[in-house]
Amino acid sequence: MNDTKIPPLHLEHNGSGIPVLLIHGFPFTSRMWRPQLSGLAASGHILAPDLPGFGRTPAAPPPHSVERLAAACLDAVTALGIHEPVVLGGLSMGGYIALAAARHFPERLRGLMLLSTRAGADSAEAKANRDKSIATAQAEGPAPAGEGMYPKLLAPENYAAQPETASELKAILQGATTEGVVMGLTAMRDRPDATDELPEINLPTLIIHGQQDQVIPFSEAEAMAAAIPHSQLHLLPQAGHVPNLEQPERFNQAVTEFLGRLS
Ligand code: MLT
């Protein structure tokens, strides 16, 4: 891992009690956690950073890696004076970063939440697509990344059934910059395969996945649940890639129960 540190991250936080660090997906911002910043405040101290180049955090120079992003997220918590281990949750790209934290900084973690994510690395085809998307962002800015993902993010019926969720999602996607998009795509492209490490994860682990996730199939969540010893799986119906926005009550209930078992 490179020693150069990423400059401090902006972090939204609310609540009190057990620290719960939530890392956003790509190309989102901490705004995606609004239903958790409010709805989980009685269950824990909810901490939601903006990754570099997203939301209110300025871009960071390369090298870009999930390991460096994991360190930056944990540093943001330390900067608040919180030194105890955190429950770390990450959605999709945030989950890749959470798995990197479990690999490199297990002593900083008290629990793990793998949300709409997978353990495997990118295939050769997926890496080539990342390269194309990086070139598009460099030529056209951040909008195509969000526009390309938007139709896949919600469960198909939720675009019509939940118009407020759909418009909130569009607003969240406005928070990405070119530098953030390039950083996220680079870190995701180069992330290591975490599959073989799953049986070694010695942390209580909550896995939540939407049954209609069109970005990462729920079979990936089932595979992680089978491999991680102290894990439990919640497959949420009527939810796609962002179950925390599509089914916030069920999502928050699952997290609250998980946190209750940790304390
Ligand atoms: C995400 O939702 O964070 C990303 O789409 C995940 C990915 O592209 O692998």
Tokens of 52: 């570099």
Is the distance from the beta carbon of residue 26 to the nearest atom of ligand 1 less than 6 Å?
A: yes
Average pLDDT estimate for 146-158:
98
How far is Cα 69 from Cα 151, in angstroms, rounded to an integer?
27
pLDDT tens digits, residue range 241-252? 999 999 999 999
Q: What is the C-alpha separation between 192 and 214, in angstroms, rounded?
A: 23
**Ligand 1 atom at shortest distance from the alpha carbon of 94:** 3
User: Distance (Å, rounded) from C-alpha 23 to C-alpha 69?
Assistant: 10
* Ligand 1 atom at minimum distance from 25 CA: 3
Check pLDDT > 50 for residue 199: yes
Measured from the CB, is residue 182 less than 6 Å from ligand 1? no
Q: Which residues contact 164 (CB under 8 A, 6 or more apart)?
A: none
**What is the Cα–Cα distance from 6 to 65, expressed in whole angstroms?**
11
Contact 26, 184 (CB under 8 A): yes
pLDDT band, very low/low/confident/very high, at 263 (cuts 50, 70, 90) = confident
Q: How far apart are CA 101 and CA 103, in angstroms?
A: 5
Average pLDDT over residues 163-176: 98
Distance 11 CA to ligand 1 centre (A): 21
pLDDT digits (tens, 9 = 90+) for 37-51: 999 999 999 999 999
Give ∠ CA 186-181-246 in degrees, rounded to 5.
110
pTM given for the model: 0.98
Mean pLDDT over 111-135 rounds to 98
Tell me what pLDDT residue 2 has: 47
Tell me the chain's radius of gyration from C-alpha atoms.
17
**Is the Cβ atom of 92 under 6 angstroms away from ligand 1?**
yes
* Choice between 6 and 231, residue whose per-residue pLDDT is larger: 231
User: What pLDDT, in 10s, does the model give residues 127-138?
Assistant: 999 999 999 999
Report the pLDDT value the prediction gives residue 3, as an integer from 0 to 100. Answer: 55
Q: Please name the amino acid found at residue 127.
A: K
pLDDT at 1 > cutoff 90: no
Side chain identity, residue 57: T
| CB-ligand 1 contact for 176 (6 Å cutoff) | no
Q: Are strands 19-23 and 11-14 parallel, antiparallel or unpaired?
A: unpaired
**How far is residue 15's CA from residue 218's CA, in Å, rounded to a whole number?**
31
DSSP secondary structure string for all residues of 68-112: HHHHHHHHHHHTTT--S-EEEEEETHHHHHHHHHHHH-GGGEEEE
149 Cα nearest atom in ligand 1? 5
Residue 142: is the preceding peptide bond cis (ω within 30°)? no
- Whose tokens are 């953030």? That residue is 180
H helices of 85-233, where?
93-104, 124-140, 143-153, 158-161, 163-173, 178-189, 218-227
